[in-house]
A and B are shown apart, each in its own frame.
Chain A
Amino acid sequence: AQKVTQAQTEISVVEKEDVTLDCVYETRDTTYYLFWYKQPPSGELVFLIRRNSFDEQNEISGRYSWNFQKSTSSFNFTITASQVVDSAVYFCALSERYSGNTPLVFGKGTRLSVIA
């Protein structure tokens, strides 16, 4: 069965520090997709990135970067030079490729607090 573990429940950093949010997943499928979502204090869920299981290239988008390693079943998210606006709950999620329902299986989330 698929499972996503975000071991860090809460993290606090001072503004401008770098921070890495960990995500470890379990799946029996060889083709799957990993996602990160951000939930700011206003409550909505904002899609950040999708990664395919067959593409292990790391990705950088501004201050955000993602490190995908199939060997360790991890898909970690790093924010460089954090800002107060980065304060949110971040969810890692997994979706397997098979016919029928393709739900997002979410981790329990990591609450990031960036202190000015």
Chain B
Amino acid sequence: EAQVTQNPRYLITVTGKKLTVTCSQNMNHEYMSWYRQDPGLGLRQIYYSMNVEVTDKGDVPEGYKVSRKEKRNFPLILESPSPNQTSLYFCASKPTGEANQPQHFGDGTRLSIL
């Protein structure tokens, strides 16, 4: 089954404790992206990757890091999480960077930073 898999689905942690949210897709997609969803703000892009070893900032990259060492994986790293990073996070992928392709989303990761 074609899918984007995120882990964990839920996490409660404390300020300053490094965490990683994993994202893996099995569709051989080149383009991957991270979004955060906040009430009243919709979804906003954090980082994206056009292909292996090619990553760049989206609209709200502060406090996050990413890496793309393999095509299928695109982890989101919070080096020193803070309460304002409490949010619902989505990983997404699509075949290439072309704008006409719908993005396939994972099921989301709900992070609570205390």
Contacts and interface: CB of A to CB of B under 8 A. Distances in A.
Q: A and B: real partners?
A: yes
Interface of A: 31-33, 35, 37, 43-45, 47, 50, 52, 91, 95-104, 106-109
Contacts of B90: 45
Interface residues of B, number: 29
A97 B58 CA distance: 16
A10 B108 CA distance: 22
DSSP majority for the A interface? loop
Contact of A104 (B43, B50, B88): B43
Interface string B59-82: 100000000000000000000000
DSSP majority for the B interface? strand
Interface of B: 31, 33, 35, 40-45, 48, 50, 56, 58-59, 88, 90, 92, 97-100, 102-108, 110
B100 A97 contact: yes
A25 to B, nearest CB: 13
Contacts of A50: 100, 102
A43 B88 contact: yes
A44 B99 contact: no
Contacts of A96: 99
A4 to B, nearest CB: 8
B99 A35 contact: no
